[in-house]
């Protein structure tokens, strides 16, 4: 059976099963397309991309009451990207042929005890470095390499260096994988999340503290602190351990500030670091922001990568966003001089 047919059959089975139990299932999704222009100092070209900041996707989601005070639910979400903005290169402007890729296949039970989830879904700390209240995340956020991440830095002589993604990763813990996860109830906006599972045949454990509070005239504050640990790739190797977090503040007038930081044990002797700063302003249908990201020692000791960008998002109706992004990325490596990478992306996300 073709993979896509299998996905649809499974989704239909899910829908049928939950209907039989009296659950309501909802189908929703989005298409997010853009035109991207890139210049690596030696070559420039345009690309028609799927904006990987928030990929084209659809989902089935449903909840129902099992008994008074106990709710059950599911989320089944897949993405389908043609020419993802983080994978296209000058040599391969289409990226790999599109496939239906799993994002969530998750079941949960929720009650006074908190929430227990089982399946493919967010690890406890996933998104911990990406907390962002700016309203411009569809154009740019801590995942700097979501736009142009596969493009390589070039030397003036024509040599190829590391890709932007390998030196400017936000190192956002362990993303999504097959796991069991527990979230405590929120205490004054603060809750603890724990997860354990397997990813790429390796055991993964994660923990996070998550916060979201509205201070009224002092604005809104959202924050996360996370830790993740993945077994080593080889026997006797180093655990892949990441710690970090992020915090975002939105003032009542629309001004906002965001900061994120992670550090990851890349090898026995090297720790990759990532820092992210963002300042923005949103009012009505408009949001603008500027960000600055730093990646240190991620690809090799002594690497120092930077990215600066400006973004604007216009939301004429709640289901449509138009966005524009201009970005410059630089890499300093001991003994090597690389050209800057320049990117411009204009596109739209439509929720259907």
Provide the binding-site residues for other proteins, judged by CB under 8 A.
15, 19-20, 22, 24-30, 53-54, 57, 59-62, 127, 130-138, 141, 186-190, 209-216, 220-223, 225, 317-321, 349-352
CB of 52 to other proteins, least distance (A): 10
Residue 343's DSSP bridge partners are: 38, 327
CB-side exposure of 3: number of CA atoms within 13 Å? 7
CB of 131 to other proteins, least distance (A): 7
Instruction: Specify the residue, 13 or 156, whose C-beta has the smaller distance to other proteins.
Output: 13
Identify the residue whose tokens are 């892949």: 240
CB of 239 to other proteins, least distance (A): 18
Residue whose C-alpha is closest to residue 337's, from 164, 89, 153: 153
CB of 40 to other proteins, least distance (A): 26
Distance CA 323, CA 349 (A): 8
CA angle, 49 then 55 then 60, to 5°: 145
CB of 164 to other proteins, least distance (A): 19
For 272-304, b where at least 16 C-beta lie within 10 A, e where not — what string?
bbbbbbbebbbeeeebbbbbebbbbbbbeeebb
Instruction: Specify the residue, 147 or 299, whose C-beta has the smaller distance to other proteins.
Output: 147
CB of 149 to other proteins, least distance (A): 15
CB of 318 to other proteins, least distance (A): 4
Instruction: Specify the residue, 54 or 195, whose C-beta has the smaller distance to other proteins.
Output: 54
Structural contact between residues 61 and 95, judged by C-beta atoms closer than 8 angstroms:
no
Instruction: Specify the residue, 15 or 100, whose C-beta has the smaller distance to other proteins.
Output: 15
Residue whose C-alpha is closest to residue 175's, from 230, 220, 108, 212: 230
CB of 179 to other proteins, least distance (A): 18
Instruction: Specify the residue, 162 or 226, whose C-beta has the smaller distance to other proteins.
Output: 226
Instruction: Specify the residue, 24 or 92, whose C-beta has the smaller distance to other proteins.
Output: 24
Instruction: Specify the residue, 28 or 44, whose C-beta has the smaller distance to other proteins.
Output: 28
Q: Which own/partner pairs from 336-340 qualify as long-range (CB within 8 Å, at least 24 positions apart)?
A: 336/155, 336/161, 337/155, 337/156, 338/41, 338/153, 338/154, 338/155, 338/161, 339/40, 339/41, 339/42, 339/153, 339/154, 339/155, 339/156, 340/41
């Amino acid at each position: 059976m073709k993979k896509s047919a299998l996905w649809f059959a499974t989704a239909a089975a899910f829908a049928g099963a939950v209907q039989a139990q009296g659950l309501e299932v909802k189908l929703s999704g989005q298409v997010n397309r853009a035109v991207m222009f890139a210049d690596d100092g030696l070559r420039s070209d345009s690309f028609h991309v799927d904006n990987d900041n928030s990929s084209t996707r659809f989902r089935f989601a449903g909840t129902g009451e099992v008994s008074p005070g106990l709710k059950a639910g599911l989320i089944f979400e897949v993405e389908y990207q043609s020419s993802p903005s983080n994978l296209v290169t000058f040599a391969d402007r289409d990226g790999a042929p599109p496939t239906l890729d799993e994002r969530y296949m998750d079941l949960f039970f929720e009650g006074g005890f908190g929430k227990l989830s089982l399946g493919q879904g967010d690890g406890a700390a996933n998104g911990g470095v990406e907390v962002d209240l700016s309203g411009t995340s569809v154009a740019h956020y801590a995942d700097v390499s979501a736009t142009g991440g596969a493009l390589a830095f070039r030397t003036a002589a024509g040599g190829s260096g590391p890709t932007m993604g390998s030196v400017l990763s936000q190192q956002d813990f362990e993303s999504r994988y097959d796991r069991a996860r527990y979230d405590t109830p929120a205490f004054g906006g603060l809750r603890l999340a724990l997860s354990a599972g397997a990813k790429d045949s390796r055991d993964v454990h994660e923990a996070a503290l998550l916060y979201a509070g509205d201070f009224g005239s002092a604005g809104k504050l959202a924050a996360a602190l996370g830790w993740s640990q993945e077994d080593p790739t080889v026997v006797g190797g180093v655990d892949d351990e990441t710690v970090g977090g992020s915090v975002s503040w939105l003032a009542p007038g629309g001004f906002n500030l965001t900061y994120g930081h992670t550090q990851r044990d890349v090898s026995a002797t090297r720790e990759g670091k990532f820092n992210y700063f963002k300042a923005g302003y949103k009012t009505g249908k408009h949001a603008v922001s500027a960000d600055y990201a730093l990646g240190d020692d991620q690809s090799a000791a002594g690497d120092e990568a930077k990215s600066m960008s400006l973004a604007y998002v216009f939301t004429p109706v709640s289901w449509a966003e138009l966005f524009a992004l201009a970005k410059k990325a630089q890499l300093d490596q001991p003994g090597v001089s690389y050209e800057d990478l320049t990117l411009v992306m204009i596109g739209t996300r439509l929720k259907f």
